[in-house]
């Protein structure tokens, strides 16, 4: 082989080796950049997942707070007694101050922003100052039916009386006295809807503190 061809082949081999080395280095750089970008993408995905989780937790907290603050409590503006009513019910009050100021509260089912169903649960409250015995003195003639049973109950932390009334329709009358304050509840007739209202009254009623 002539010297020319030897030199020519050597040059070609050198170029091939140099080119291969350059390609290898470039490929390493490409791989490094790709891996770095993939790592950044993974980090961004993790951040998105964390943000979504925080938003979901915040929504749960807001919902819980909303649920907690929407308790249906009725407080009389003048006499200051209070009671928690079932969801969907409202207290519709007639306040009469001829003689002893008296609150006649109907626990009514709300059907729109301005309309209520009437209810068969009535609450009468005043500061007449009667004892429990005085409140029930004339009950035999006042209840409009036959007294079937008398039970001791507790309303607003004080001893009270429950009268089961028979006759045209079955119902209950409740009487409680605390200091100067007198409470009378009439549940007539007796049915599941009225019992739900009365149960809420019996368990949550609060007499004024003054």
Residue 209 lies in a domain: no
CATH number, position 195: 3.40.1000
| 30 compared with 123, residue with greater pLDDT | 123
Q: Please give the share of the chain, as a percent, with pLDDT higher than 90.
A: 32
- For residues 13 and 43, membership in a common domain is answered with yes
- For residues 144 and 178, membership in a common domain is answered with yes
Nearest to 92 by CA among 104, 79, 78, 80: 104
Who's near 11: CB < 8 A, 6+ residues apart?
A: none
pLDDT at 126 over 90: yes
Query: Which of 20, 46, 70 is where one domain is finished?
Result: 70
Q: What is the separation of C-alpha 198 from the centre of its chain, rounded to a whole number of angstroms?
A: 20
Q: Give tens-digit pLDDT for 129-177.
A: 999 989 888 765 555 567 788 899 999 999 999 988 776 667 888 999 9
- For residues 110 and 153, membership in a common domain is answered with yes
- For residues 107 and 40, membership in a common domain is answered with no
Residue 51 lies in a domain: yes
Query: Which of 36, 70, 104 is where one domain is finished?
Result: 70
- For residues 174 and 147, membership in a common domain is answered with yes
- For residues 23 and 40, membership in a common domain is answered with yes
Range of the domain at 117: 73-204
- For residues 35 and 109, membership in a common domain is answered with no
What whole-number distance in Å separates Cα of residue 7 and Cα of residue 26?
A: 29
- For residues 184 and 84, membership in a common domain is answered with yes
> Given this model, what pLDDT does residue 51 score?
63
| 64 compared with 84, residue with greater pLDDT | 84
Query: Could you check whether the bond before residue 189 is cis, i.e. omega within 30 degrees of 0?
Result: yes
Question: For 99-157, where are the E strands, in sequence order?
Answer: 102-110, 116-117, 121-126, 146-155
Query: Which of 28, 53, 70 is where one domain is finished?
Result: 70
Nearest to 162 by CA among 125, 127, 202: 202
> Given this model, what pLDDT does residue 98 score?
85
- For residues 82 and 179, membership in a common domain is answered with yes
CA 115 → CA 40, 91, 107, 108, distances in Å? 60, 12, 13, 9
Instruction: Please say whether the beta carbons of 65 and 71 come within 8 A.
Output: no
- For residues 149 and 122, membership in a common domain is answered with yes
What is the total count of domains within the chain?
Answer: 2
C-beta pairs of 87-95 under 8 Å, 24+ apart in sequence:
89/119, 89/197, 90/116, 91/123, 92/116
- Residue bearing tokens 């507790």: 154
- Coil, helix or strand at residue 33: helix
Segment 68-91 shows an average pLDDT of 84
- For residues 28 and 102, membership in a common domain is answered with no
Task: Look at strands 73-75 and 121-126 and give their pairing.
Answer: unpaired
| 23 compared with 113, residue with greater pLDDT | 113
Residue 111 lies in a domain: yes
């Amino acid at each position: 082989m002539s010297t020319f061809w030897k030199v020519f082949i050597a040059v070609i081999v050198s170029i091939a080796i140099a080119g291969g080395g350059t390609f290898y280095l470039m490929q390493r750089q490409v791989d490094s950049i790709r891996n770095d970008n993939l790592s950044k993408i993974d980090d961004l995905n993790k951040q998105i997942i964390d943000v979504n989780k925080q938003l979901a937790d915040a929504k749960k907290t807001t919902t819980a707070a909303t649920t907690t603050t929407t308790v249906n409590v009725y407080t009389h503006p003048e006499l200051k007694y209070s009671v928690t009513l079932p969801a969907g019910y409202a207290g519709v009050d007639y306040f009469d101050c001829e003689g002893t100021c008296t609150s006649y509260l109907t626990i009514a089912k709300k059907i729109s922003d301005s309309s209520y169903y009437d209810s068969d649960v009535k609450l009468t409250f005043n500061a007449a100052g009667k004892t429990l015995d005085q409140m029930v003195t004339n009950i035999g003639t006042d209840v409009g039916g036959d007294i079937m049973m008398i039970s001791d109950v507790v309303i607003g932390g004080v001893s009270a009386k429950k009268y089961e009334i028979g006759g045209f329709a079955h119902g209950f009358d409740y009487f409680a006295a605390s200091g100067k304050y007198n409470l009378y509840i009439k549940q007539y007739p007796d049915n599941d809807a009225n019992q739900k209202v009365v149960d809420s009254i019996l368990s949550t009623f609060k007499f004024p503190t003054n």
